[in-house]
Chain A
Amino acid sequence: MTTKAHAEAHTLEANAGHGHDDHGGASHGSLKSYLIGFGLSVILTAVPFWLVMTGTIADKAVTALIVLVLAAVQIVVHMIYFLHMNTRSENGWTMMAMIFTVIMVVIALTGSLWVMHHLNVNMMPMHDMSQMP
């Protein structure tokens, strides 16, 4: 069905009194999309484990950064290929709910870590305890 025809069908359906249409629900994905998602997930899981277990990159900060970036990418991959997130399902309300949640999570996480880190730094005794006899 072409997009235009589909839109027309939608309008007809809406006119017929089906305000809550069935097309707005979650999509299901295909075998191909599941396999692509799985393949990407395996790579995105194996690489950080390999990096940490072998210690290939000497600088720990760089390793940590790469691990975090790969995790973020993997979360997006799971969202798209396994949870079938898109901007169309439920007329965009699932996406809206997710964007709201992500904002809340970012505020909570960065806020907690930031404030508590500074509190920690300021509460530290002036001398280094590990140097004490």
Chain B
Amino acid sequence: MSVAITTQSSIQDSEPVFHVIDEHAHPEGASTMLGFWIYLMSDCLIFAMLFATYGVLGGNYAAGPSPKDLFDLKLVALNTTMLLLSSITYGFAMLTMEKSRIGQTQLWLAITGLFGLAFLGIELTEFAHMIHEGATPQRSAFLSSFFTLVGTHGLHVTFGLVWLVTLMVQTARFGLTEANRRRLMCLSMFWHFLDVVWIGVFTFVYLLGMLR
């Protein structure tokens, strides 16, 4: 790298230049992973605010239903299992991607998608059941903050699934190219990050909600 304190010919008689004059090489996608990581960290702050809101409002039932009346821990445990399994299957997809086994990668991605879909299905069933019982987001501050927090996580999973299908189509059409590998690694970080957020949700909202 030419760290130039050399002076350019045009400004030879004026002040010396103390920065790199030559533009060094920026390989495509070299900063993608760091950039995506910083996106995830900002997403983390969104969830932190929603957790704080839930923490403040979570006890305000407005004489409505409380967590004990609404939550079914068996369902939540099943949900958690689905997301945890989808995390490990995505890990397997990454491992097979490194070995350039495109068929196996696609298979593991499909399994991950199915687990993600199962997670969403169970969550929506839970929401539908709650709303059917009159526990809508409008009912109390507890329910408003609950639906906002858990709903935002569910929305992230939904977009993750859309992204997953998109990348499966991309991989099927163009193969495991450098760009597709990079995209799959970004989605890997996104997917594992959602699992980390879910740890906070099931602990803070469901388990501690039942202990209230």
Contact = CB atoms under 8 A, between A and B. Distances in A.
B48 A20 contact: no
A116 B55 CA distance: 9
A29 B210 CA distance: 36
A105 B98 contact: no
A53 B2 CA distance: 64
A127 B29 CA distance: 63
Given A17-B24, A101-B45, A82 B195 contact: yes
A71 B199 contact: yes
Interface string A1-42: 000000000000011011110100110111100110110011
B192 interface: yes
B195 A78 contact: yes
Interface of B is mostly: helix
Interface centre among B25, B81, B208 (most CB of A within 10 A): B208
A34 B27 CA distance: 30
B61 interface: no
Contact of A19 (B1, B33, B76): B1
A119 B106 CA distance: 53
Contacts of A90: 33-34, 37
A34 B73 contact: no
B169 to A, nearest CB: 23
Interface of A is mostly: helix
Given A26-B185, A109-B55, A19 B196 contact: no
A82 B45 contact: no
Interface of B: 1-2, 24-27, 30-31, 33-34, 37-38, 41, 44-45, 48-49, 51-53, 55-56, 73-74, 76-77, 80-81, 84, 87-88, 91-92, 94-95, 98, 185, 189, 192-193, 195-196, 199-200, 202-204, 207-208, 210-211
29 contacts: A17-B25, A20-B25, A20-B26, A22-B27, A26-B189, A28-B94, A29-B95, A31-B92, A35-B88, A38-B84, A41-B87, A45-B81, A45-B84, A49-B80, A52-B73, A64-B211, A67-B211, A71-B200, A71-B203, A83-B192, A89-B33, A94-B34, A97-B38, A97-B41, A98-B37, A98-B41, A104-B45, A108-B49, A108-B52
